């Protein structure tokens, strides 16, 4: 699957099918700190990702005044 990441912006190829949580574990990313978007749709941690999916991982950013 093609994984697009931000901060720093980069793209990587990941082999095989896996869940969102397993993908984040493999990339050493904390689930609570990242949003995962698969083929344009926000997906939960137990969602299954296929080898032909395009996945975007965005860091969660919060702020306030």
pLDDT in tens, 10-36: 999 999 999 999 999 999 999 999 999
For range 44-59, the mean pLDDT: 96
pLDDT above 70 as % of the chain: 97
Tokens of 1: 């699957």
Of 53, 58, 62, the C-alpha closest to 8 is: 58
Q: What is the pLDDT of residue 17?
A: 95
In the chain the domains, ranked by start, together with CATH numbers, are 2-59 (3.10.20.30)
The reported pTM is 0.87
């Amino acid at each position: 699957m093609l994984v697009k990441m931000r901060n720093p912006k980069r793209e990587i190829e990941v082999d095989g099918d896996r869940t969102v949580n397993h993908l984040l574990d493999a990339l050493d990313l904390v689930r609570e700190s990242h949003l995962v978007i698969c083929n344009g749709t926000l997906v939960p941690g137990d969602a299954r990702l296929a080898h032909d999916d395009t996945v975007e991982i965005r860091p969660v950013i919060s702020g306030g005044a």
